[in-house]
Chain A
Amino acid sequence: MINVLLPTLAEPQQFSMEEQLLFGTLAAVSLFGFWRRFGPILGNILQSKKDPKFHLFPIGRRVRDFVWEVMCQAKVIRERPLAGVAHALVFWAFCAFALVTLNHCATTFGLGFLDPAGRVGRFYFDFAALFAAACAMGISGLFVRRFVARPKWLGELSWESGLIALLIFALMVTYLAAFFVPGAGTAARALWWAHTVTLLLFLPLIPHTKHLHLVLSPFTVFLSREGFAQIPPLVGDEDFGLVAGTDLTRLVSLQAYSCVECGRCMEHCPANNTGKLLNPKEIVLGLRGYLNEYGPNSEEPLLGKYNAQEAAFECTTCGACEFQCPVGIEHVPIIVGLRRGAVNTGAWEDDHGFFLVLEKGSNAFGLSAAERDKFVEKNALPIFDGTQEYCLWLGCMGAYDPRGREIVVALVRVMRYLGASFGVLRKERCTGDPVRRLGNDLLFQQLAEANLEALKQNRVKKIVSICPHCVRTIQEDWKAYGTPPEVEHHSEFLARFARQLPPIQNQEKIVFHDPCYLGRYRGVYEEPRRVAALAGELVEAPRSHERSFCCGAGGGLVFLGEEKGERVSHVRAEELAATGASVVGTACPFCNTMFRDAFSAKGDGAPELMDIAQLAARGLPE
């Protein structure tokens, strides 16, 4: 019954020889045009060197990510809801149209498999029509957004985007119109040809524009690396990172060609938001430009015509770009790779002598280890002797920075109250986090190996650390050089025992700032909140959880001297203060120090700055 009421698609069923010939020729030209551009691109990708340690299996994660991010368009929608839904509709329409288009071409030669008069055919065409309508609406909305609203993330006005939008719209309209014309008339045939020509115009345009993502991005998402911000190992004696075209791997080349220029990475980049040269979108497009001009076998430096060294070294490795990318581009390994290429070959000038400090000393500040000893002694911290359960890792901040020390003292008070068995090592060396993010593989290897050996000798099994950078480096980055002990962040430890802590009298309004290396890097968002909630009512900053805005210290930048221009920490500090909270809760000693400097510059009226350990300790008896 319903079938009878719904309109039928008017599709010509018979084509003359001339028509078939015409179609064949046009199709051949179109396919040729497509391949002419796509062939070399595919070549560039396949000729790039293989990714070391790439494993297709376990395939479960890949399939899951593919279904969630590509088929369900989850990231596309979640991070930019309105535009995301519009895009999702267009995408789903394309998926639905696959069969329609196939059938469309097949009918030219009498090989159509969907009969517009049959039950299956009618159902399918009507089903597709719904999507066509949604798609037409979606693409119109996106057109208006790009050409009328003009958000700055989309960059300059792009005529090719306009043309593509028009073609998509035309495809949908020519399809939908065919429901309203008689089946066997000239109108139907005209619409059929209009649709065909639009289609055959669209096809070769795909590889020439960012719409190449139609073909590539499902692969890009499927083939992405094991984990977030994964830095690949160097292979062999001549591998120093991303120095020239020959260092680009297949995954990087694939990602470079997948960029849709949506600007979501740029929108969330702390460097880009404070007027620095760095723009993650441009980094990726720069690689694309390089590949187009020089190809993957060139010795031309990557940091040259298409990308600047200065930009690569403005990155805090916060990962917001990589997290946002809907097509699976992994910016962090690319930027760290470019840094490696510069640092491992000595092309980068270490103006602040930072590497020399760590070459010679035990900590990133260049302070005497005696200072740490004095702190440990003064606070009667137990020394780890292999019998305690936890090794409390102080890190550079916890051992030498006055604020970091306060956090350690608070945590120790809590641990003692809970009766946890713990100790601190007699000697610690920097985990190497800033060295790793800056791309100095020689120094990092030395630090990682020395540390792993020391931990083994001290029989350390479990580490608790106040610093998400230490946690990340120990757990992930040291893996390349040995087996690190178990490590957790103090928010995870405290959250486990939150219920055992005494209640806190003065409840405050607290805004928790998600550290990059705890949130995006480790996926820990709720545990620190559970702890902070002990001390008051939680409010959220406009950008929180996976969208948390970096404090500016990461990527080794805090050790490289003063930041130019507007400071990332000040921008975030303003945002946090604007929530009206009386306390800013942190879980990273770097965030803590950065905001302290920002708030002290602000003067009176700034919120109190407390690490979650300090908040948790508030209820303890004096």
Chain B
Amino acid sequence: MSVLLVLEESGGKIKRASWEALAAAQRLGPAESITAVVIGAQTAALAAEAAAKPLGKVVRLEHPLLAQYTADGFSLALEQLIGTEKPAYVVFPHTYQIRDYAPALACRMGQALIGDVVGIDDGPVFTRQLMQGRLIGSYRHAGSGPCFVSVQAGAFRPDANVAGPDLPADAGSAPITTFTPAIEPAQIRSKPGEPFRGSEQTVDLGSAQRIVSVGRGIKEAQNLPLVRELATALGAELAASRPICDNGWLPMERQVGSSGQTVAPRLYLAVGISGAIQHLVGMKGSQCIVAINKDPDAPIFEVADYGIVGDLFEVVPALTEAVKAAKQ
């Protein structure tokens, strides 16, 4: 049962989500059956990074036309590789990029992608969320081609990469091969531009150790100082769920969620956030989650370690006081 694992890079380094996908791949087959793929025009460094992980082998899928990501380019290249490797499973991290091309790739092979998987049980049975997190669905692959799976960020812990009895003796240096796909320029139909930011970046939530995040419960922009004070008292960064940023109350780069940043701080304090799936996805990996919400059935409490059911306009100031007092 060979597993083809597609790794995604960002800024010359392999994204954390890819290692989570590796942890998922390890549920489908032993380390030596896993072939990792790095895609691009110059993939030597990426391949080296991948080779250090417990895998069977690394393939450099390289071609000048793959320098920038395009759905056509990546689909074509991978289709050819899959044709050669003939894996039983093709595993991806569920990122924006994967959502853009993996379904088309699966379609070419007569398959449908099982996307955004949060669990893999024996069978294999793949579980994913439905109805915006209100239900869990169990899926099985029934087709005769490869099984395409993409894995939700934060669902599998990448530290599992390091431990495990399946580790081959010489884990740390998997063999690297190169595969050059045949791609003609005319086959790349879209022209991607350079990524740009909506506004000036001034904050890096990804490295913050503590985050206080605010949601719709805050009601109005003028109530933000309440939460800001708490963040200051805690020495935490201020973040928000999507609606707050959409309203312009906080800049876009403070957004945590599927369309914002994925964070994993030691402490994540969700204030007035209901816990819609798009937000949970961005902070589930946090070590300690605290939720303050007046609705005891808010989904945020599902993932919280500690929760206070109450009016945030009373709880937040009280908490700020308590934190300040504790510091003395």
Contact = CB atoms under 8 A, between A and B. Distances in A.
Direct contact of A and B (CB under 8 A): yes
Contacts of B295: 371
Nearest to B220: A562
Interface string A350-378: 00000000000000000000110010000
Interface in B259-300: 295, 297
A374 B298 CA distance: 13
Contacts of A370: 297
A374 B309 CA distance: 15
A611 B297 CA distance: 30
**B interface, over-half SS:** loop
A374 B295 CA distance: 10
Contacts of A371: 295
A374 B297 CA distance: 10
Interface string A272-300: 00000000000000000000000000000
B246 to A, nearest CB: 12
Nearest to A374: B297
Interface string A462-504: 0000000000000000000000000000000000000000000
Interface residues of A, number: 3
Contacts of B297: 370, 374
A360 to B, nearest CB: 15
A370 B295 CA distance: 11
Q: Chain B, interface size: which category?
A: under 10
A370 B297 CA distance: 10
Contacts of A374: 297
A400 to B, nearest CB: 12
A371 to B, nearest CB: 8
A540 B295 CA distance: 41
Interface string B124-157: 0000000000000000000000000000000000
A371 B295 CA distance: 9
Nearest to B294: A402
Interface in B191-244: none
A176 B295 CA distance: 81
Interface string A337-361: 0000000000000000000000000
B310 to A, nearest CB: 13
B298 to A, nearest CB: 11
Interface in A363-399: 370-371, 374
B98 to A, nearest CB: 31
Interface string B12-39: 0000000000000000000000000000
A349 to B, nearest CB: 18
A107 to B, nearest CB: 76
A371 B296 CA distance: 11
A366 to B, nearest CB: 11
Nearest to B274: A368
Nearest to A370: B297
Nearest to B295: A371
A370 B296 CA distance: 12
A167 to B, nearest CB: 59
Interface in A385-444: none
A314 to B, nearest CB: 22
Interface in B294-328: 295, 297
A537 B295 CA distance: 40
B299 to A, nearest CB: 12
A371 B294 CA distance: 11
A462 B146 CA distance: 65
A374 B296 CA distance: 11
A353 to B, nearest CB: 12
A371 B297 CA distance: 10
Nearest to A562: B220
A150 B295 CA distance: 58
A603 to B, nearest CB: 16
A367 to B, nearest CB: 10
A601 to B, nearest CB: 11
B100 to A, nearest CB: 29
A363 to B, nearest CB: 16
A241 B295 CA distance: 42
A558 B294 CA distance: 23
Interface in A84-120: none
B85 to A, nearest CB: 47
A187 B297 CA distance: 96
A523 to B, nearest CB: 37
A244 B136 CA distance: 55
A405 to B, nearest CB: 13
A370 B299 CA distance: 14
Nearest to B311: A402
A404 to B, nearest CB: 16
A325 B295 CA distance: 49
B301 to A, nearest CB: 15
B176 to A, nearest CB: 53
A596 to B, nearest CB: 14
Interface string B99-130: 00000000000000000000000000000000
B108 to A, nearest CB: 37
A483 to B, nearest CB: 39
Nearest to B296: A374
B25 to A, nearest CB: 39
A84 B295 CA distance: 58
Nearest to A371: B295
Interface in A563-607: none
A51 B297 CA distance: 53
A121 to B, nearest CB: 77
Interface string B147-188: 000000000000000000000000000000000000000000
A145 to B, nearest CB: 46
A201 B297 CA distance: 79
A43 to B, nearest CB: 53
A365 to B, nearest CB: 12
A127 B202 CA distance: 88
B126 to A, nearest CB: 30
A-B pairs with lowest CB-CB distance, top 3: A370-B297, A371-B295, A374-B297
Interface of A: 370-371, 374
3 contacts: A370-B297, A371-B295, A374-B297
Interface of B: 295, 297
